[in-house]
């Protein structure tokens, strides 16, 4: 028997989807996940579709050094990561299918978590090694590394928050 009795929360129904080995920037995926995390499903899809159609930028909170500012974000830093937004739309579609299989109501789905990770880093080298005289001063014989990404989405069924109605009686 445990010394301390602790309250175990009732587990809520969740639906998950995850993808591996994406040829995409994990930094962009991180910001896309941050833009949709905690939002209702319909709103998250709208955000991603607007980014793909270049209508509204995704706000960048991390990995944004030297980035341009966007007027559609009110002067905040942002970009239009189309490839990563398409990846997240595919993951959301998969998670919604998993939720439907579990009998969850699509109208009540919220994004509980959306996470992106750096998965693998593969160094890319030249096919043959050369000395500094051939390449030139300060040049290196390696190319940029090839990085793959991994992403996860978890959907949760909960009631949408009701907006507070301002009435004349409440003000008095």
Question: How much is the pLDDT for 79?
Answer: 95
- Burial of 45 by CB count in 10 Å (0-12 exposed, 13-18 middle, 19+ buried)? middle
Give the start-to-end residue ranges of the domains of the chain.
14-160
Question: How much is the pLDDT for 123?
Answer: 78
Q: Determine the Cα–Cα distance for residues 26 and 148; give it in Å rounded to an integer.
A: 7
Give 6-49 pLDDT, tens digit per residue. 554 456 789 999 999 999 999 999 999 999 999 999 999 999 99
Give 69-83 pLDDT, tens digit per residue. 999 999 999 999 999
Instruction: Flag whether pLDDT at 127 surpasses 60.
Output: no
Give 112-124 pLDDT, tens digit per residue. 999 999 999 887 7
For range 139-144, the mean pLDDT: 66
pTM for the full predicted model: 0.78
Average pLDDT value over all residues in the chain:
85
Question: How much is the pLDDT for 129?
Answer: 60
Q: Are 45 and 165 in contact (CB under 8 A)?
A: no
Question: How much is the pLDDT for 161?
Answer: 73
Q: How far is CA 140 from CA 50, 126, 146, 158, in A?
A: 40, 10, 16, 54
Please give the DSSP secondary-structure letter assigned to residue 73: G
CA-nearest of 20, 26, 28, 29 to 146 is 26
pLDDT band, residue 169 (cuts 50/70/90): low
Q: Which listed CATH number (3.90.470.10, 3.40.50.1000, 3.40.190.10, 2.10.260.10) goes with 14-160? A: 3.90.470.10
């Amino acid at each position: 028997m445990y010394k301390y009795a602790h309250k175990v929360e009732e587990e809520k129904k969740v639906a998950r989807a995850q993808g591996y080995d994406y040829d995409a920037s994990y930094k962009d995926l991180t910001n896309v996940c941050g833009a949709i995390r905690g939002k209702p499903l319909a709103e998250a899809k709208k955000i991603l579709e607007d980014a793909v159609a270049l209508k509204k930028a995704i706000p960048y909170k991390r990995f944004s050094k030297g980035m341009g500012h966007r007027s559609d974000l009110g002067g905040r830093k942002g970009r239009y990561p189309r490839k990563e937004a398409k990846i997240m739309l595919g993951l959301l579609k998969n998670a919604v299918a998993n939720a439907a299989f579990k009998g969850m109501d699509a109208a009540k789905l919220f994004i509980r978590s959306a996470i992106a990770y750096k998965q693998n880093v593969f160094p890319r080298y030249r096919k043959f090694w050369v000395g500094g005289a051939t390449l030139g001063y300060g040049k290196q014989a390696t190319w940029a590394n090839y990085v793959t990404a991994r992403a996860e989405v978890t959907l949760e069924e909960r009631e949408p928050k009701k907006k507070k109605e301002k009435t004349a009686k409440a003000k008095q």
